[in-house]
Structure 1
């Protein structure tokens, strides 16, 4: 039987399973991943959703309303965290979740439609442990639930002509994002950020956030290098600072200042400050990997930024 109705579609993707196969072997790793995905499916049932299908190391589900979808996403993160606290082998596994709402076509227990496609593509824009949703999902939440989401503004989604306004569930990371270099000294509020890769020299103001760095032609800052993922990293404005989140398989690396230590973001995030370089797919010291120079701009620094960047970090 075919039905057409409004649904909230959820995709969840379990990251880190590749490492399990390397350390545990195929049989044990397959059993653990299957068990974990089944556990996540319990969160769908608990929140009155329909488990549409499992996808190897992930799943797809649908809900009648956004509130139940968000509750299920939060419950999934809780269940995975509890499992990782009980078992060391689960500590390097993380969950990415994306939700979209719209009209879907239901045929023989499966779902099709724009909301399905958007939710699946949004996983490319989610970091480990992140839940990203469309504006349509946020609009259907209670006031208390909406307060937990931070706008990422409009992002180009692969396969869709119009940009999609998305939000991320704020898990209190904010200024606590790791830098490994102690407390960041806050200057006057930044006005923007300059990025330079080869001849691609661009300045982004706060209204341009978020910035997606990637190989895709739909990325905000397109870097045409085979070591760069389609959506490799994302720069957000979090109210008082810029945050860089790795979205890739090969990793994102940041070096602050001249000859400073290099921070590996492997699906993590950090706060950007001052000036430095971002290595995509390899550390800045790797001459093969593309590196992007960045500088946080303030009003008084805007005019001298090009000279600073030409000298390099």
Structure 2
């Protein structure tokens, strides 16, 4: 056990950078060549982290954990890492099968430092942001973005709110837009909508085709899946027998995935989210897909509406 003298508390921005595509690379190029590419990528990433004032805490497999003194430094490092890797891929004309990409997540908050490692809720949230990100994406929290200068806030967009177990609150997620296109809606700030009263959000309504369900705030957890006996039965082949549950937790409706292929949630006005063996707070209205994207359509996608 670490001595009391070696434990310190403070504020820091924790960043996780994870290699995407390494399994495919090993299968295609073989162990030696793939290992060399991944190791070179991790070394380059570590150098960028240090060049932006960060410190590499540890490398876990293909993932790097780092800390920065502030969120601006972490943001700049993340964008540089993604931009550099994109340039590398373009310069060698690499195909998706012969290149690696990164998914990055970071969060600023209180941390506990013990010896050479960091612990606490900030670390957990940063790791969650990285797990949400797809290849080539950078995710952070709206709370982190709100504390940044305006030029940074202008290059972020609010996505949805993820429920981080054990934190007791919603974690609103934002994407750092380091690549711009006509499909991106840039927001000048990340305003979080005021939380409605529990009474106003007490009712959950689900719709699938001509089927309708209404659940009150005192309803038992709602089971969804292919098996008979679920409250909501779906026949989608990629759905699990006991795919998910939706339950009331304090003043929120929380979707909990238990499946193999994941659950896809597309909130109105935000980007689609996918979770697997995780939980997500449902907000306002949207569409849910079981085992596949809700964009694909079909009779088993469910529309949800929260409120009267």
* TM-score (structure 2 length as normaliser): 0.64
1:140 Cα deviation after fit: 2.7
**Per-residue deviation, 1:281:** 5.2
Return the offset for 1:141: 1.5
1:227 aligns with 2:260: yes
- Counterpart of 2:121 (choices 100, 103, 114) is 114
Contact 1:280/1:291 (<8 A) preserved? no
Q: What is aligned with 2:55?
A: 50
CA contact (8 A) 2:264 2:293 kept: no
**Map 1:27-42 → 2, pairs under 5 A:** 27-42=32-47
- SS of match in other structure, 1:9: strand
Q: Is the 8 A contact 1:3 1:107 kept in 2?
A: yes
Deviation at 1:7, TM superposition (A): 0.3
Structure 1 pair 237/93, CA: closer, same or farther in 2 (3 Å)?
farther
Q: 2:81, 2:245 → 1: CA distance?
A: 30
Residues 276-308 of structure 1, C-alpha deviation per residue, up to 9 Å, x if partnerless? Answer: x956259999xxxx98426799xxxxxxxxxxx
Report the secondary structure of 1:68's partner residue.
helix
RMSD: 4.0
Structure 1 unpaired stretches of 5+: 178-192, 203-212, 249-274, 298-313
Instruction: Report the counterpart of residue 9 of structure 2 in structure 1.
Output: 4
Contact persistence 1:124–1:247 (CA under 8 A): no
CA distance in 2, matches of 1:165, 1:14: 24
Residue of structure 2 in register with 1:175 after alignment: 183
Query: 2 CA distance for matches of 1:235 and 1:176?
Result: 16
Determine which of 256, 280, 284 is the counterpart of 2:291: 280
Q: Distance in 1 between matches of 2:22 and 2:299?
A: 28
Unaligned runs of 5+ in 2: 1-5, 186-204, 215-238, 248-252, 277-286
User: How big is each residue's C-alpha offset from its partner over 1:45-72, in whole Å with a ceiling of 9 and x where there is no partner?
Assistant: 1111111111221211111111001001
- Residue number among 80, 86, 91 corresponding to 1:86 in the alignment: 91
3-12 vs 146-155, greater mean Cα deviation: 146-155
Q: Which residue does the alignment assign to 2:102? A: 95
Structure 2 equivalent of residue 140 of structure 1: 147
Q: Which residue of 1 aligns with 2:77?
A: 72
Q: Is the 8 A contact 2:265 2:289 kept in 1?
A: no
SS of 1:144's equivalent in the other structure is helix
Query: Which residue matches 1:183?
Result: none
Q: Confirm or deny: 8 A CA contact 2:264 2:289 kept in the other structure.
A: no
Question: 1:135: Cα distance to partner?
Answer: 2.8
Q: In the comparison of the two structures, how many residue pairs are matched?
A: 238
